[in-house]
Structure 1
């Protein structure tokens, strides 16, 4: 015996006009002409205009007119003005329903176009990170706080360079198109400088110059830069960003803090020294999670922040994509509602020093 799928919500909505018209017809016949249910036949095309296209609405309007004539003749209403008034009501509502359906269809087409543009912008701005970068395996998760949006103010990138695998995760101050524009600026500068600059400090200084030149007012970007080379260590530079999380091989969790905090990109004064890099061991079998504050500042119904360190065990899943997906789902359950901020997570797994050629730079 096969299971039958329940009807979809859209199917039920599309049947609503016919059901309404049938109910009105039966009620009118049972109640008789004295009650005056006949004008309610116009509810059929009215509902059709809300859930269907203009052609479907026009067909329901035609059916409603035929039904109105039939019921009017049955009730003997065309011997007086009531029958013609009911016909005029059905015709008027049908016209309004067709106009509403046309307007809604145009808006849906515009929304589809905007979504398509957003998808293209996402592919250009937040390109998929390489799954393999030197001895690392990378996987990313991004959740936008803006309804129906696919991109926002968080940014990430992984570049295999002659100087090691270089990574950035950042968070632009603000939201909307202005934040997307700033994110594009920082990512463009990072992608070029990550391959050219010999040191991570030089890379950071170049990003700061780009940000100071282009950002206006009090705009800024918090970011953390990471470099993984061949010496079983990771080098960080932190620009006012949440500390990364390192999951050690024995299951312990570290949130390494910088020796001194530096202002975000775009807020450093002229001539001021950049933040000092700091090094930590990072060996095969260990994992590095870079994230934005949309993760750790997500609150539950009681106002408690998301306990990322306590959820690190979710990353022990052998498959990196499933592990990060489990962490993302757990974050969504904790928030118990739509996100209030963008949330990006970039997971890097050190799988060893096998002979893996660096991924070529992506143009």
Structure 2
């Protein structure tokens, strides 16, 4: 599976929180000494020389060494290609002079090999420059991924989470799907959404919504107020893009905003902005939570208000599974949609441990790729979060600077604890 279709909540060198594999950034074999790229042109050179020695005088193959620097230019660095170009010339002279005068290929083929070496070096220069540009663009894409989908600890703020993101655009590596967790003095808030459209405009809108969520999710006590901030932010973003003349001025986003409160340990609050219905997955099976009974973010003026807040039960052994339409609309060759409820239900029935967040998103990811045969028509995201038992909550870390004021807020000391505003390596 290529880098764009891994879970992108980690960076190069980090472990994938879902699969446990290591992120390895692809690097072309530009320096032969660091790999085995030199073997192919070397074996070709030796093979041509032996072929020329072991055939009759009427069949001369030494001129084929012109292929050697060409092969090197495709897999090796510039200086190594130049070395193979010189080596090819030397080999040509030695092998050709080993034959009697009447059988030698002579100067014309020598010039051919020399010209081939020069062209190969030039091709290697062009290729390595292009590779540097590609790697630079990959670095930019990876930085964008980390800015939009910041790495999240597997166990954080009283919940265990796992997320997987599959980009439909393999080159871009990031699109309009987004998810995040924001702990605060009033609980842990979760946001999963999908911005309408694709491209950089969708990425910008997703980044704007996540920035607003990270602030409002921490400071605002009422979940509905957080929703109002998100609605206002997408409207402001649309206004800004319209003013600057962008063609992305009609963006909206479906989303699910959820809150885990310590005051209601067996419940979860959900506001659904026209998104796919959240799923509660546990040993007892799969059940749908309130569906998208509201309009997407950015379109509340059509209905005159935000969607209602639903408080629904969520057992201690149940996991909240949130997916985007890239999951539910994945099609097979017959045009049939992927049935995530049935697939997850079968997995949980066979093994109740599949309800764990990491195994759950892995099941969804593999199911989507298997059903669509890897041909994704849309960005695909699956995010699973489950409340941790009180004795497994995160270890104590320094309080954020704003926590001193938050501690004086009503309800601060009633079981929530200071872990809701702990400082993390990402800034909380």
User: The TM-score by the shorter chain falls in which range?
Assistant: 0.7 to 0.9
- Aligned pair 1:15/2:35, yes or no? no
Aligned equivalent of 1:58: 82
Aligned equivalent of 2:312: 280
Structure 2 CA distance for aligned equivalents of residues 12 and 131 of structure 1: 38
Unaligned runs of 5+ in 1: 1-9
If the length of structure 2 is used for normalisation, what is the TM-score?
0.74
Q: 1:285·1:351 contact (CA, 8 Å) conserved in 2?
A: no
Structure 2 CA distance for aligned equivalents of residues 25 and 135 of structure 1: 69
Q: 2:364·2:382 contact (CA, 8 Å) conserved in 1?
A: no
Q: 2:155·2:161 contact (CA, 8 Å) conserved in 1?
A: yes
Identify the match of residue 49 of structure 2 among 22, 25, 43: 25
Q: 1:72·1:78 contact (CA, 8 Å) conserved in 2?
A: no
1:213-248: per-residue Cα shift (whole Å, max 9, x none)?
112432111111111223221121111211111114
Shift of 1:189: 0.8
Q: 1:144·1:342 contact (CA, 8 Å) conserved in 2?
A: yes
Q: 1:32·1:75 contact (CA, 8 Å) conserved in 2?
A: no
- Aligned pair 1:358/2:420, yes or no? yes
Q: 1:166·1:227 contact (CA, 8 Å) conserved in 2?
A: yes
After alignment, is 298-307 or 286-295 more displaced?
298-307
Q: 1:154·1:183 contact (CA, 8 Å) conserved in 2?
A: yes
Within-5 A mapping of 1:339-358: 339-354=376-391, 356=393, 357-358=419-420
Unaligned runs of 5+ in 2: 1-28, 30-34, 242-248, 394-418
Aligned equivalent of 2:407: none
Secondary structure of 2:258's match?
strand
1:81-119: per-residue Cα shift (whole Å, max 9, x none)?
x51111111111111111111222222222222223333
Aligned equivalent of 2:415: none
Secondary structure of 1:306's match?
coil
Identify the match of residue 256 of structure 1 among 272, 289, 293: 289
Structural RMSD (CA): 2.7
Q: 1:167·1:226 contact (CA, 8 Å) conserved in 2?
A: yes
Secondary structure of 2:106's match?
helix
Structure 1 CA distance for aligned equivalents of residues 91 and 161 of structure 2: 64
Within-5 A mapping of 1:77-226: 82-215=105-238, 216=241, 217-226=249-258
Q: 2:358·2:384 contact (CA, 8 Å) conserved in 1?
A: no
Structure 1 CA distance for aligned equivalents of residues 235 and 328 of structure 2: 28
Structure 1 CA distance for aligned equivalents of residues 172 and 384 of structure 2: 23
Shift of 1:12: 7.0
After alignment, is 222-231 or 318-327 more displaced?
318-327
Q: How many pairs are equivalent? A: 351
1:11-34: per-residue Cα shift (whole Å, max 9, x none)?
776422233333333443444454
Structure 2 CA distance for aligned equivalents of residues 76 and 177 of structure 1: 67
Shift of 1:344: 1.6
Q: Residue 133 and residue 60 in structure 1: after superposition, are their counterparts in 2 closer, same or farther (change >3 A)? A: closer
Shift of 1:199: 1.7
Structure 1 CA distance for aligned equivalents of residues 344 and 196 of structure 2: 27
Q: 1:133·1:359 contact (CA, 8 Å) conserved in 2?
A: no
Secondary structure of 1:269's match?
helix
Shift of 1:41: 1.6
Q: 1:130·1:158 contact (CA, 8 Å) conserved in 2?
A: no
